Chain A
Amino acid sequence: MAKVILAVDDSASVRQMVKFTLSDAGYTVIDAVDGKDALAKLNGSGSSVNMVITDLNMPNLDGIGLIRSLRANPAVKGVPILMLTTESQESRKQEGKQAGATGWIVKPFTTQQLLSVVKRLIG
């Protein structure tokens, strides 16, 4: 069964790129526009998610908040969380790690970089 990845970003083009790249590589991608949307889709889908990719700067519920609520949710315990950061966000990266993110990828990234990081985390 295809692995399910929840991709969260408020940028439509990034969402499209992530979804396109990962679907192409055989993953099932659910996308969400912000943290709130992500949590709703997670609860609504009922299916298990194998990985979460999230941007940090988002309206309503930002990436850090999303990571914190995911880590507090036993249903998605131990699921790898990849955060999308920009170089200027070193402190945010640390914050994200402390909140429980598994890894990060620095924007801008190429589709190959994204795929290799996803493979590293969930194979």
Chain B
Amino acid sequence: MIDHRQAFQDEARELLSELESTLLELDEKREDNELVGRAFRALHTIKGSGAMFGFLDIAAFTHGLENAFDRLRKGQLTVSQDLIGLSLNAADQIKKMLDAAAGLGAADLTRSEAILTELRFLIGAPETEMAAAAATPPPPAPVQSGPAREWRIRFRPSREALLNGTNPLRLIDELRQMGDLRVTVDASAIPPLSEINPEHCYLAWELMLTTPSDANSIRDVFVFVENDCELTIEPTDGAAVEPETPAAPVQPAESRRAAQAAAAGASSIRVSAEKLDQLVNLVGELVTVQARLSEVAARREDAEVLAVSEQVEHLTSALRENSMSIRMLPLRATFERFRRLVHDLGADLEKQVELTLEGADTELDKTVIDQLNDPLVHIIRNSMDHGIETKEARRAAGKPPMANIHISAQHSGANVLIRVSDDGRGVDVEKVRKRGIEQGLIQAGAQLSETEIVSLIFAPGFSTAAKVTDVSGRGVGMDVVRRNVEALRGSIEVDNKPGTGLTVTLRLPLTLAIIDGLLVRVDDDYFILPLANSLECVELTTSDIEDAHGNHLANVRGQLVPYIRLREYFQMATQKPEREQVMVVETEHGRYGFVVDQVLGDHQTVIKNLGRIYRNVSVVSGATILGNGTVALILDPHRLVQNAIRAVSHNNPVVGRKNGRARDRRNQNKSNTRKEVTIDAT
């Protein structure tokens, strides 16, 4: 800093002598504006640089003089003998002040005052303006280090931001230094390719910032762009901060309001489930209409309509997520209720059982939870009665007398897996097979896998209990479980470890109303695959098929992925195109590809139930209406793969359950094109 001060003193002296000669010249050529400008710049520099390097007295004094020359420059004053004389005196005074600063004598401050007073009189400037102090550095904004709050910042820079040298990413980086930042980009304003100006900025951002800093510190980051961008900064706990908050520390009133809002946010209101259902239904309708709007907009190729439709799509999607999340409830309440059940049943059956829970905070649609209680009760009863042995038997088997039932919940894509495991004796496969034959559920000589035999416990009327107890054994129960779970569009699986326990897994959809789907096309038919499970989309050409020597295997970056061709699966007698597309989906059985003619893209899928006739069609979990009115079936990739695996292991086309293969007619769409679709039922 010291050498900058020295540099300024040298510079100021130079400027002062230049000012002197300029003033003398000006005395001769009073109309020469160029000379006035030169004098003004000299004073301006002395003032500006003086303030910069700590010569505040010089800056303050010069400011008055600079002001006078600014007015001269603008023609508000005329050059006069008196003014020039005064200015020369002022220049001398500045020189004295410089000397004083350099340690050479002291400047007479009363003289400075006298010169300024005279100047004021001369140019008739209001006192306040003259006294407007030479810029003193603004005090650094006090750092607000209150408790961290979450802020929602919406930022849409102007189109020309990039041309003006603004880099929005820098601003985001700067925010990131203030605290934890989540960034969501909004690309909805990007116009069709033909209209894109590559130098324009079409993006907007939503930034969630958790920081102890206040709104003004955040706003400060955007200070250069504030006036030509859309910017809102608000705390997520609901206390609105006006965009034009004065640069004052947070007012007590405001913080009180914030606290109130926060308190209000924590509380909740009760709304009848019926109203929620209504809301979700309406959102469903909205999504359907929006799909139509998108369709129409795309066909019109009108950028304006397209932009509106995209905005509507964006909003609809947000609204959908929002209304869905309202219906989500944690499973804990349901799970906790089973403690009592296990305790009471344990007392009845004279078995000691403890219940352990895992993932009880997993959230699920309220409708699903409501219908989940009964199946779970049945499964637990079944475990307690059939699975878990008596104390004596447990001791004989070397197990601790205290048995355990473990209920866990976890997310898996768009599904929630609920597992009920016990450490009992498991299912006696041979006994089940015998009972199955006795009850006519299976043929005596049928070759069935262990899993298939164990699934018999879900058959209607099946029971292995030698005696009917109060708890179970009447043969109603497990088939009800299956029916209930399937009514929820879920599936049920059993993992049997004879001697050590049984695990029943319920796979349930997160929601029954609307899902994110991937729209695909085979010939003229549309299908939806759940997006949550979809991994990627690759092409399948004729040469790929030849390379695989007729095996249904696709090479995805060196990895072999088995695939199912939907055209073949559904026995659609149409010619496949030269290029097909494979949608790779993560299933419980690993990665599988689904070969379709074309992957059309993501689709907000409002799930419509199929009629009762289709209840046994397991691979289709519902249907949805597309924008153009066509019906698309929602496929269940897990079931598709399961059926395909079974078909391969039996070496014949898919084996159905008792009722075998159902050939169903379905009304393809409203134009009454009836098509025969064969769907393998399980």
Contacts and interface: CB of A to CB of B under 8 A. Distances in A.
Contacts of A120: 170-171, 174, 221, 224
Contacts of A77: 163, 199
B163 A109 contact: no
Nearest to B34: A59
Interface in B43-97: 44-45, 47-49, 51-53, 59, 63, 67
A23 interface: no
Contact of B165 (A79, A86, A107): A79
A12 B7 contact: yes
A101 B164 contact: yes
B48 A104 contact: no
A13 B44 contact: no
A109 B138 CA distance: 9
Contacts of B11: 11-13
A15 to B, nearest CB: 9
A80 interface: yes
A37 to B, nearest CB: 15
Judged by DSSP, the binding face of B is helix
A92 B224 CA distance: 15
A11 B49 contact: yes
A48 B261 CA distance: 52
B28 interface: no
B44 A103 contact: no
Interface residues of A, number: 37
B545 interface: no
A123 interface: yes
A72 B4 CA distance: 34
A14 interface: yes
A93 B612 CA distance: 72
Interface centre among B7, B136, B224 (most CB of A within 10 A): B224
A107 B52 contact: yes
Interface in A52-107: 57-59, 71, 77-81, 84, 86-88, 97, 100-104, 106-107
A110 interface: yes
B135 interface: yes
B166 interface: yes
A11 B48 contact: yes
A88 B223 CA distance: 18
A86 to B, nearest CB: 5
Given A108-B52, A120-B170, A20 B4 contact: yes
A16 interface: yes
A23 to B, nearest CB: 13
Contact of B4 (A16, A78, A79, A106): A16
B173 interface: yes
A58 B38 CA distance: 9
B52 A78 contact: no
A121 interface: yes
Contacts of A84: 48
B39 to A, nearest CB: 11
Given A13-B49, A14-B49, A120-B174, A100 B4 contact: no
B7 A81 contact: no
Contact of A100 (B67, B164, B227): B164
Contacts of B4: 13, 16-17, 20
Interface string A8-47: 0011111011001000000000000000000000000000
B52 A14 contact: yes
A121 B170 contact: yes
A11 B37 CA distance: 15
Nearest to B136: A108
B224 A103 contact: yes
A55 B614 CA distance: 77
Nearest to B227: A97
A100 B137 contact: no
Nearest to A104: B224
Interface string B170-208: 110110000000000000000000000001000000000
25 contacts: A12-B14, A13-B4, A13-B7, A13-B8, A14-B45, A57-B40, A57-B45, A59-B38, A77-B163, A78-B162, A100-B164, A102-B165, A103-B223, A106-B138, A107-B51, A107-B135, A108-B48, A108-B52, A108-B59, A108-B136, A108-B137, A109-B137, A121-B165, A121-B167, A122-B170
Interface of A: 10-14, 16-17, 20, 51, 57-59, 71, 77-81, 84, 86-88, 97, 100-104, 106-110, 120-123
Given A17-B53, A20-B4, A78-B165, 9 more contacts: A13-B8, A13-B11, A14-B48, A14-B52, A51-B165, A80-B166, A88-B67, A106-B138, A120-B171
Interface of B: 3-4, 7-8, 10-11, 14, 37-38, 40-41, 44-45, 47-49, 51-53, 59, 63, 67, 132, 135-138, 162-167, 170-171, 173-174, 199, 221, 223-224, 227-228
3 closest Cβ pairs, A-B complex = A80-B165, A102-B165, A103-B224
